[in-house]
Structure 1
Amino acid sequence: MAQRVATEYVNANLTVPETDMPRLLALCGAQQLRLQVFVLENGNQEVVLEDDAGGESIRLTFERSEGNYRCRLTCRVVQPKLTNVLRKMVSAFKGDAVVNRIYEGFTMVYHYMQGAVIRIAECKGNAVRTVFEYRDTLGRMEAQFQLCSVEEEIGRLKQSVNELLDRRNRAADPGSIREIDERLKYHSRLLFVLEA
């Protein structure tokens, strides 16, 4: 398995409600990092996270605005504990980020939106290969359904009614006829609503 060389956070954005700041600090503390919090003017906060193992540290500046703290971050991290805490912060607080996980000979690029990974791409030299991409299939289907005009829906329903009438004329079983009649009743109500 390839050994990760470093992780780059490119233009990461977090919005943390004031009430959730203690939860963010607890998340950092759970990773066994040295933690310092400085309160700046206007209520802004600067959080310094330091890893004991390598002496690496990062500074996160949270600007206070309308009951939230906003943090914009661009950094390169090598130590696994710092990498993990940043990943957990982006996920837990529904952040947006582009994260480059750099390996020997290639880079994996993760795109986060609202804390979820929406795309993973592998970059090797000039070649870029998509490994994963989130597709909102249900959302696309709903949008497609809403694009259909009422007239097209009426046309489809009329065609369905004609097919049901043909099946009813051929049917001999009383159970099948009852089922077809129920479907015809449903279709006629729907046609009435759409044509109104």
Structure 2
Amino acid sequence: MTSEGMNPGTTRPGGRTARVRSAVLRAAGDALAEHGLAGLDLADVARRAEVGRTTVYRRWGTPANLVADLLADMAEQSLPRAETGTLLGDLRANARLVRRTLADPRQGALFKAVIAAATGDEQAAAALHRFYDARVTEWEPCARQAVERGELPEGTDTREVIRAVSAPLYYRLLTTDQPLDEATADRAAEAAAAAARAGVFV
């Protein structure tokens, strides 16, 4: 069930509640990308979204709640996995999607802010874990199908294969000032595929 499915009034396409949520989450993402969690102010978000301050306080209550809903929305909006027919093709598609997201000036800054928030706030951390769990779940069939095709050994931890693709990209984003280019994404996919074929994830 999506987060919208749990809130009465948010499932009606084009409904006012859905429009308000969309505007507020967009404004929250902008504010996070600019100032981080410490600078995330609900009144400022309401002003940016052009909605009533009371609406934002009543629905979200705290910046951590807003971050949690933003991450839930990002998971819902993320593009579906690719199916190229080969392990390397699928992992490369995954790596390139992650790279495009993290290399985007707004999205990269947003992920840095959310990851920083998760280090000091349990609710933000739980929301971040749910976000990545949803993305790994979306892409895990790529590795599972590779096992079924005989590309990977039986007993492979297919979720760990997917994590191994994006981990180097996040590491580069957070620890260096080097660009996240497509060659870096392809190298991450190739390394994960090679390790998986060698049985590292069994």
TM-score range, shorter chain: under 0.3
TM-score normalized by structure 1? 0.25
Q: Which has the higher contact order (CA 8 A, sep 6+)?
A: 2
Could you say which structure has the higher strand fraction?
1
TM-score normalized by structure 2? 0.24
